Chain A
């Protein structure tokens, strides 16, 4: 047996376990057989493969290490881990060819003959010698090893080797970490002694696995379900949904949008969609008679908001167009911050996954200047900062909402501008991108958190335009009849704040015109605390607000009178639900309560509410608790759509090298031209 054959046997025997591959030819041979996320290619740090394997195994995972004799002899102290961390379910395969293959085939030291003895002396539970592939498979394939097991596998020296591993190494780490997390359906186990292994009994029957996130080990409920890579998991339905919408809607005359739907699913696309995890968990079984659960849509650490989903869809469509036509695309989007961050993150992911090259696809965002404190550095774009391809414009001296009209007008003029070098300029606000992206919420819900078919579920969401809830409704339409029938019927609760309360006002003021709106929006009077105003007229509006902020939770929200209000009103009329407006003061007064509930779903809020930069999740939670306390809903099952939360400790601020100040349409056009001029 030569080394390549041995590696091929190992790779095919353990497609479901993490493989730690040592440096040199062993990693390269495995890489040439096909890169896989469960393979950790340790290209440097010779001698440490088994240490990494023990570290992963000590966290409860069954692990295979593929080592070499030169590597083992370089750091035999790693063998001591068999005693230092007893009980780890580690299969340590040493491909022993007696030589340092990648440095020219020099023989390894005379101590090579002692490897099996060393392993026994260091405390390995069992040690085998193998010369044939079937022996390897028989010792490992049945998954019955219970403690550290070493297979000293004698292979012929001399073998063919594949190319060097050209993946960015941080991507290698990230992919394997995500893969390890993805096979862990969160059945929570207690936080045992650090570094000690789980007893063997808990290692049996494990497609189920311990959850690894330490913060989550306190108080998480057993019904938590993490749906890994939701967009890839439901891709077929999403593609169908996109095709049906593209058949129905047309691009505005004279503007560009990709003619095609979504690209075919490939390994690279799956990797790219890897940021689209979502999860469900019950936070309390009974708050004022309601079960309150969380749908966590902010699990992508690169954004911490649900904007990840639509942005991944938008950028995937751009990728499909580029691949089909060879045309380059510049995405332009106005944003109050989060969409811009998510688009930048998606573009970086498309580059990292090898879907497109940096010069083929870039993104230029225009945000209000007030959004600056929410904008974050996108690590994946860092290598490209100097090129200036992906700037963020900050609009100064104008109302925040003007970012939309300025970006739109710039796009209209730039698409025909020869100075953009024939790139297509795409203004990506088409609703279909949002509807199909947010449809995964309903698709995953039906499979993993269906509730009771006889008990309506109130879906609560902090909204500006309520695309997320319309997307959920669209997802229900994509479900088959049977799946829809066994899932809880949906009702919708709109949660807004005073700066953008139009959807709630629209819901309750219909037919009343301006007078109706006035009767819905209450007037406030002073209180004993001179900074606090109060009202008792309408419980769907803040009962208290701070005069200094007028109750506004986040000044960066700018969407007024959204065109989606009519559709949302019709949905609520037909299926049930309502709306509520909350103030910043109410969110602050609820901060501890909300934090305690979110902790049950594994989310820990910043200790200091002044550090919070994205309040959407707190808004939705506050709206739900206020609705229940005030008797505004009789829902027994409430699912809060956690669309966004982050605090300053969760991200690195955008770097000034990425910022361009914008005063008007002309200066924004110049920003775009500079970004595409290469």
Chain B
């Protein structure tokens, strides 16, 4: 069943259910999120598993994940990269310097085939912000071995070593302009 307002999807893309299963199998959780069109299939798959809680604002979700990490739980946060913009200080002054092992699942609106003017600013900044903060990130390409790339990134978090980010270009789950 397709929701009326869901963006039509086509072409090859990452299997959102498989990815949700991979996150669950690796023990990532709890997950806190704020919806994003690019990530909608993953958001739905995670919600179906009951492992995702919607939070109104992304930096608040980051704070929650840090609290969960204090309880030794490998938490994750799902957000659009516009929300990453809201989170820059929380990342720069909390997640990165305290080296809190949480997983960021972030879309890359404003890159690739997404030319929407309101998104190209953060699209160009997202990876650079993470790089500057020394938060390891992987951009998942439909054509690459995304399962392997994902597990490497998740391992950084579940082993308690470091925060890490999975970045999803617009086409990752079949989003169309």
Are these two chains actual partners, yes or no? yes
Measuring CB to CB, which residues of chain A are less than 8 angstroms from any residue of chain B? 18, 20, 40, 42-61, 63, 75, 77-78, 80-81, 84-85, 169-170, 172-173, 176-177, 180-181, 193-196, 212-215, 301, 379, 649-652
Whether the Cβ atoms of A214 and B98 lie closer than 8 Å is no
Most buried by B among A80, A81, A379, A652: A81
User: Per a CB cutoff under 8 Å, which of B27, B32, B71, B94 touches A180?
Assistant: B71
A84 proximity list for chain B (CB < 8 A): 53-56
A57 to B161, CA, bound (A): 23
Whether the Cβ atoms of A194 and B51 lie closer than 8 Å is yes
Most buried by A among B64, B97, B159: B64
Question: Closest CB-CB distance, A62 to chain B, in whole Å?
Answer: 12
Q: Does B83 contact A (CB under 8 A)?
A: no
Whether the Cβ atoms of A177 and B70 lie closer than 8 Å is yes
Whether the Cβ atoms of A51 and B72 lie closer than 8 Å is no
Q: Does B125 contact A (CB under 8 A)?
A: no
Instruction: Answer whether A85 and B64 are a contact pair too, CB < 8 Å, given A77-B56, A177-B69.
Output: yes
A78 to B86, CA, bound (A): 14
Whether the Cβ atoms of B64 and A52 lie closer than 8 Å is yes
In the complex, residue of chain B having the shortest beta-carbon distance to the beta carbon of A301: B160
B90 proximity list for chain A (CB < 8 A): 45, 48
A48 to B70, CA, bound (A): 14
Instruction: Answer whether A81 and B60 are a contact pair too, CB < 8 Å, given A45-B93, A170-B97, A652-B161.
Output: yes
Q: Which of B65-91 contact A (CB under 8 A)?
A: 65-75, 89-90
Q: Contacts A55-B71, A214-B74 given; 19 further ones with Cβ under 8 A?
A: A40-B70, A48-B60, A48-B66, A49-B63, A51-B64, A55-B64, A55-B65, A55-B66, A55-B70, A56-B68, A56-B71, A85-B64, A181-B72, A194-B29, A194-B51, A194-B52, A212-B73, A214-B73, A651-B159
Would you list 23 pairs from A and B whose C-beta atoms are within 8 A, ordered by A residue? A40-B70, A42-B94, A44-B89, A49-B63, A52-B70, A54-B67, A55-B32, A55-B63, A55-B66, A55-B68, A75-B60, A80-B60, A85-B64, A173-B98, A193-B50, A194-B31, A194-B52, A195-B30, A195-B32, A214-B29, A214-B73, A301-B159, A649-B155
Instruction: Answer whether A59 and B71 are a contact pair too, CB < 8 Å, given A78-B63, A194-B29.
Output: yes
**How many chain-B residues does the 8 Å CB contact rule pick out?**
43
Whether the Cβ atoms of A61 and B59 lie closer than 8 Å is no
In the complex, residue of chain A having the shortest beta-carbon distance to the beta carbon of B89: A45
A177 proximity list for chain B (CB < 8 A): 69-72
User: Per a CB cutoff under 8 Å, which of A52, A169, A180 touches B63?
Assistant: A52
A56 to B64, CA, bound (A): 7
Whether the Cβ atoms of B64 and A54 lie closer than 8 Å is yes
A20 proximity list for chain B (CB < 8 A): 67
Q: Does B57 contact A (CB under 8 A)?
A: yes
Q: Does B133 contact A (CB under 8 A)?
A: no
In the complex, residue of chain B having the shortest beta-carbon distance to the beta carbon of A213: B72
Q: Does B14 contact A (CB under 8 A)?
A: no
User: Per a CB cutoff under 8 Å, which of A46, A60, A81, A650 touches B71?
Assistant: A60
Whether the Cβ atoms of A55 and B75 lie closer than 8 Å is yes
Measuring CB to CB, which residues of chain B are less than 8 angstroms from any residue of chain A? 27, 29-32, 50-57, 59-75, 89-90, 92-94, 97-100, 155, 159-161
Whether the Cβ atoms of B50 and A57 lie closer than 8 Å is no
Question: Closest CB-CB distance, A645 to chain B, in whole Å?
Answer: 14
A75 proximity list for chain B (CB < 8 A): 57, 59-60
Whether the Cβ atoms of A58 and B93 lie closer than 8 Å is no
User: Per a CB cutoff under 8 Å, which of A45, A50, A59 touches B94?
Assistant: A45
In the complex, residue of chain A having the shortest beta-carbon distance to the beta carbon of B158: A215
B69 proximity list for chain A (CB < 8 A): 55, 173, 177
Question: Closest CB-CB distance, A611 to chain B, in whole Å?
Answer: 11
B57 proximity list for chain A (CB < 8 A): 75, 77
B63 proximity list for chain A (CB < 8 A): 45, 48-52, 54-55, 78
Instruction: Answer whether A48 and B30 are a contact pair too, CB < 8 Å, given A59-B68, A177-B70, A212-B71.
Output: no
Most buried by B among A20, A48, A78, A379: A48
In the complex, residue of chain A having the shortest beta-carbon distance to the beta carbon of B92: A44
In the complex, residue of chain B having the shortest beta-carbon distance to the beta carbon of A217: B27
Whether the Cβ atoms of B159 and A56 lie closer than 8 Å is no
Whether the Cβ atoms of A214 and B27 lie closer than 8 Å is yes
In the complex, residue of chain A having the shortest beta-carbon distance to the beta carbon of B155: A649
B50 proximity list for chain A (CB < 8 A): 193-194
A50 to B97, CA, bound (A): 19
A50 proximity list for chain B (CB < 8 A): 63
B64 proximity list for chain A (CB < 8 A): 51-52, 54-55, 58, 81, 85, 195
A43 proximity list for chain B (CB < 8 A): 93
User: Per a CB cutoff under 8 Å, which of A54, A173, A649 touches B159?
Assistant: A649
Whether the Cβ atoms of B67 and A59 lie closer than 8 Å is yes
B66 proximity list for chain A (CB < 8 A): 48, 51-52, 55
Whether the Cβ atoms of A212 and B52 lie closer than 8 Å is no
In the complex, residue of chain A having the shortest beta-carbon distance to the beta carbon of B66: A52
Question: Closest CB-CB distance, A217 to chain B, in whole Å?
Answer: 9
B89 proximity list for chain A (CB < 8 A): 44-46
Whether the Cβ atoms of B97 and A78 lie closer than 8 Å is no
Whether the Cβ atoms of B70 and A85 lie closer than 8 Å is no
A301 proximity list for chain B (CB < 8 A): 159-160
A80 to B61, CA, bound (A): 11
A56 proximity list for chain B (CB < 8 A): 67-68, 70-71
A180 to B70, CA, bound (A): 7
B29 proximity list for chain A (CB < 8 A): 194, 214
Question: Closest CB-CB distance, B97 to chain A, in whole Å?
Answer: 4
Whether the Cβ atoms of A44 and B94 lie closer than 8 Å is yes
Question: Closest CB-CB distance, B42 to chain A, in whole Å?
Answer: 15
Question: Closest CB-CB distance, A86 to chain B, in whole Å?
Answer: 11
Question: Closest CB-CB distance, A23 to chain B, in whole Å?
Answer: 8
Question: Closest CB-CB distance, B79 to chain A, in whole Å?
Answer: 14
A301 to B156, CA, bound (A): 13
A195 to B50, CA, bound (A): 10
Instruction: Answer whether A51 and B67 are a contact pair too, CB < 8 Å, given A44-B92, A81-B55, A170-B98.
Output: yes
In the complex, residue of chain A having the shortest beta-carbon distance to the beta carbon of B71: A59
In the complex, residue of chain B having the shortest beta-carbon distance to the beta carbon of A194: B30
In the complex, residue of chain A having the shortest beta-carbon distance to the beta carbon of B67: A55
A172 proximity list for chain B (CB < 8 A): 98
A211 to B70, CA, bound (A): 12
A61 proximity list for chain B (CB < 8 A): 71
In the complex, residue of chain A having the shortest beta-carbon distance to the beta carbon of B100: A173
A63 proximity list for chain B (CB < 8 A): 67
Instruction: Answer whether A77 and B60 are a contact pair too, CB < 8 Å, given A44-B89, A173-B98, A194-B31.
Output: yes
Most buried by A among B69, B71, B90: B71
B67 proximity list for chain A (CB < 8 A): 20, 51-59, 63
B30 proximity list for chain A (CB < 8 A): 58-59, 194-195
Whether the Cβ atoms of A194 and B53 lie closer than 8 Å is yes
Question: Closest CB-CB distance, B13 to chain A, in whole Å?
Answer: 25
A196 to B51, CA, bound (A): 10
Whether the Cβ atoms of B51 and A51 lie closer than 8 Å is no
Question: Closest CB-CB distance, A363 to chain B, in whole Å?
Answer: 22
Instruction: Answer whether A195 and B73 are a contact pair too, CB < 8 Å, given A45-B90, A173-B100, A649-B159.
Output: no
A180 to B161, CA, bound (A): 18
A112 to B69, CA, bound (A): 31
A45 to B161, CA, bound (A): 21
Most buried by A among B29, B73, B100, B160: B73
In the complex, residue of chain B having the shortest beta-carbon distance to the beta carbon of A377: B161
In the complex, residue of chain B having the shortest beta-carbon distance to the beta carbon of A56: B67
A292 to B55, CA, bound (A): 45
A48 proximity list for chain B (CB < 8 A): 59-60, 62-63, 66, 90, 94
In the complex, residue of chain B having the shortest beta-carbon distance to the beta carbon of A168: B97
